[in-house]
């Protein structure tokens, strides 16, 4: 199994697991490899260090145990200028949103109004609305929070 560091044309970085280098190239050629952040299929392999399993070693620290960078040093930045720890926190927040909300799709504005007027049970929802629809909801006193429309909401998040 090969774990490759990949990036799309918008500089989103992610991992891909493939049976071999040839498998990655074949899947990319057929358009099967896409960015989990934006859906871009223009994917390039990035340089990455190999992981060598030379025997038993101490377990790696949990993510919560990672120490902050010493003061005065620049944080490790992910492509696009976002520090890696903020990118990880953003993905965790998106996982929480997906796990704790109901996807009502294109019915978002309609369902938000129904809940606001007491015609439907109040619950946490997510979906798609145009900018004009979101503005109308806000003008009606219905609180909405615009989030990016990520293809990862349509399936499991990594």
DSSP assignment of 9-74: TT--EEEEEESSHHHHHHHHHTT----TTT----EEE---PPP---S--PPPPPGGGPPPPPTTSP
Q: Please give the structure tokens belonging to residue 105.
A: 């799709």
Residue 158 lies in a domain: no
Tell me how crowded residue 11 is: count the other CB atoms within 10 A of its CB.
Answer: 13
Residue 155 located in a structural domain: no
How many domains, in total, are found in the chain? 2
Q: Report which of 83, 91, 81, 107 is spatially closest to residue 36, judged by C-alpha positions.
A: 91
- Report if residue 65 sits inside a domain: no
> What are residue 76's phi and psi, to 5 degrees?
-65, 120
Inside any domain, residue 126: yes
Range of the domain at 108: 101-144
Give the residue, 157 or 49, on which the prediction is more confident: 49
Whether 56 is covered by a domain: the verdict is no
Each residue's pLDDT tens digit, 39-61: 889 999 987 766 666 666 555 54
Query: Is 128 within the bounds of a domain?
Result: yes
The pLDDT, as a whole number, for residue 75 is 43
Pair 145, 133: CB distance under 8 Å: no
Is 77 a domain residue?
A: no
């Amino acid at each position: 199994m090969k774990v490759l560091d990949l990036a799309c044309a918008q500089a989103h970085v992610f991992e891909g697991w493939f049976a071999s280098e040839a498998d990655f190239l074949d899947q990319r050629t057929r358009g099967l490899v896409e960015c989990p952040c934006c859906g871009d299929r223009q994917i390039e392999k990035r340089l990455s260090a190999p992981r060598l399993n030379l025997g038993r070693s101490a377990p790696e620290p949990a993510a919560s145990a990672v120490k902050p960078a010493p003061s005065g040093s620049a944080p490790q930045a992910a492509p696009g200028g976002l520090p890696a720890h903020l990118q990880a926190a953003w993905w965790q927040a998106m996982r929480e949103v997906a796990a704790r909300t109901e996807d009502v799709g294109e019915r978002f504005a309609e369902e938000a109004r129904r809940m606001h007027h007491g015609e439907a049970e109040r619950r946490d929802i997510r979906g798609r609305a145009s900018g004009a629809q979101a503005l109308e909801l806000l003008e009606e006193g219905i609180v909405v929070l615009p989030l990016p429309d990520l293809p990862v909401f349509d399936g499991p998040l990594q």
